[in-house]
Structure 1
């Protein structure tokens, strides 16, 4: 079966490889076949996480033909906090979504 493995090793850097694996291969076996030398997945908040088509997967999850196995790095900043800080830096330059428009 053919499986695609994608890993964003750094910002704006994506590695992708298509593997031919035997039927019933698992996520861990697919990672071993990539040759990337990655550590264990799901190793807590500082480790890599695996997902199949965007849904979280464990190392012993079996893969199917045509699956896309994605490896993700942990977030360094909470997206809500980053958005709040970005808004404070740029200020309220433009009117918001529910701002009143002046009557003509």
Structure 2
């Protein structure tokens, strides 16, 4: 059974900080993109530090582009910007261990 305007898709949009996580379940028209789902989710009101028009997005841990068309059952994840580059964090931990 394919998605059509008469048969909407059901997806989730997830956003998280260390102290707060939210997952919104949405029913949207077939053809909705990942970016559109984030914009329609309303999560920007709870996470003002996230720019719903620019934040990096993924589906089940895999990066996707804004125009990625969603399928029924997808979970769009809104990623926070990195505070520190992971390679730099490893270097700092290694220096701290040597000290």
The bucket for the TM-score relative to the shorter chain is: 0.7 to 0.9
* d(CA) in 1 for partners of 2:43, 2:74: 19
Residue 87 of structure 1: aligned partner: 94
- 1:13-54 C-alpha deviation (Å, 9 max, x unpaired): 22211111111111122112211334312xxxxxx1011122
Match of 2:31 among 5, 14, 24: 24
Report how many residues are paired.
85
Q: CA RMSD in A?
A: 1.8
Q: Does 1:7 align with 2:15?
A: yes
Runs of 4+ in structure 1 deviating by more than 3 angstroms, as ranges, are none
Residue 62 of structure 1: aligned partner: 69
Q: Secondary structure at the match of 1:23?
A: coil
Residue 39 of structure 1: aligned partner: 52
Where structure 2 has 5 or more consecutive residues not aligned to the other structure, the ranges are 1-8, 45-50
Residue 5 of structure 2: aligned partner: none
C-alpha contact 2:38 2:76 (8 A) present in aligned 1? no
Give the structure with higher Rg (CA). 1
* d(CA) in 1 for partners of 2:88, 2:66: 31
